[in-house]
């Protein structure tokens, strides 16, 4: 369990994300991670692209998922710093992946970051309750596989590569930040 202060900070961060994402979703052309425009110098899209959503169903789906994952992370005792670090690492790697592999021309959504936080939580959960953690991790991997096949509940064509990149980063951060892990010795 986490402290009241951590819960307050996470709730505030979630609400701020919800407001920023709602504003960005209202004008996706101005804020989406458009690969061509980013390469022409609009680098701020690397950040705003994670906030914008391509429709309101996508917005609500991502916001609900992020809220649930933040609750799970906080229940597992993860601090604000660790959660923030995981989210920023996931956003960075997803953005770099989108720029270099170019799976889509325009990207929007929190789901790459959420996948990172979910895999982070699943690894942490495996340490506490192996069965539940493995089921959670397997469910996330199954979701990514379904997205690879083009199946999505959010109303938007899924960018499974972003979810896969986010999940990989979240797992790596979780493993490397476990008690007993040392630099160069990342193991569960």
**Do 110 and 50 touch, CB atoms closer than 8 A?**
yes
Spacing of C-alpha 145 from chain mean position: 17
Higher pLDDT, 136 or 28: 136
What pLDDT, on the 0 to 100 scale, is given for residue 67? Answer: 92
Residue 182, beta-bridge partner list: 185
Show the tokens assigned to 161.
Answer: 């590569």
Give first-to-last CA distance, the chain, whole Å. Answer: 21
Structure tokens at 14: 């979630």
Task: Identify the pLDDT of residue 188.
Answer: 36
Q: pLDDT tens digits for 118-165?
A: 999 999 999 999 999 999 999 999 999 999 998 877 667 889 999 999
Residue 57's pLDDT is 87
Determine the 3-state secondary structure of 106 from DSSP: strand
CA distance linking residue 115 with residue 69, whole number of Å = 9
pLDDT, mean over the chain: 88
High-pLDDT (> 70) share of the chain, %: 94
Residue pair 165/111 in contact (Cβ under 8 Å)? The answer is no
- Range with lowest mean pLDDT among 14-28, 76-90, 92-106, 162-176: 14-28
Token pair in block for residue 168? 């990989």
The CATH code of the domain at 4-176 is 1.20.1540.10
Q: Which residues pair with 33 in a beta bridge?
A: 107
Q: Looking at the predicted structure, is the pLDDT value of residue 28 above 50? A: yes
Residue 33 is inside which H or E element, if any?
A: strand 33-34
Gap between the Cα atoms of 20 and 39, Å rounded = 23
pTM strictly above 0.85: yes
- Distances in whole angstroms, Cα of residue 28 to Cα of each of 20, 54, 129: 12, 6, 41
Asked whether the beta carbons of 49 and 108 are under 8 A apart, the reply is yes
Q: What is the four-CA torsion angle of 184, 140, 93, 3, rounded to 10 degrees?
A: -70
pLDDT (tens digit per residue) in 36-65: 999 999 999 999 999 998 888 888 999 999
Identify which of 112, 117, 116 has the alpha carbon closest to the alpha carbon of residue 70: 117
Low-confidence winner among 5-19, 21-35, 146-160, 171-185 (lowest mean pLDDT): 171-185
């Amino acid at each position: 369990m986490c402290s009241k202060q951590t819960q307050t900070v996470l709730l505030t961060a979630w609400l701020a994300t919800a407001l920023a994402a709602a504003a960005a979703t209202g004008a996706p052309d101005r804020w989406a991670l458009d690969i061509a425009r980013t390469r022409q110098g609009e680098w701020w899209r690397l950040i705003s692209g994670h906030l914008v959503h391509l429709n309101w169903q996508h917005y609500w789906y991502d916001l609900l998922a992020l809220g649930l994952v933040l609750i799970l992370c906080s229940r597992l005792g993860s601090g604000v710093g660790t959660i923030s670090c995981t989210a920023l690492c996931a956003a960075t790697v997803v953005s770099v992946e989108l720029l270099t592999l170019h799976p889509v021309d325009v990207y929007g959504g929190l789901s790459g970051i959420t996948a990172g936080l979910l895999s982070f939580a699943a690894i942490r959960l495996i340490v506490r309750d192996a069965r539940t953690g493995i089921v959670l991790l397997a469910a996330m991997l199954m979701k990514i596989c379904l997205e690879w096949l083009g199946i999505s509940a959010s109303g938007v064509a899924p960018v499974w590569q972003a979810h896969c990149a986010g999940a990989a980063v979240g797992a790596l951060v979780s493993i490397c930040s476990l008690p007993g892990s040392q630099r160069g010795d990342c193991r569960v």
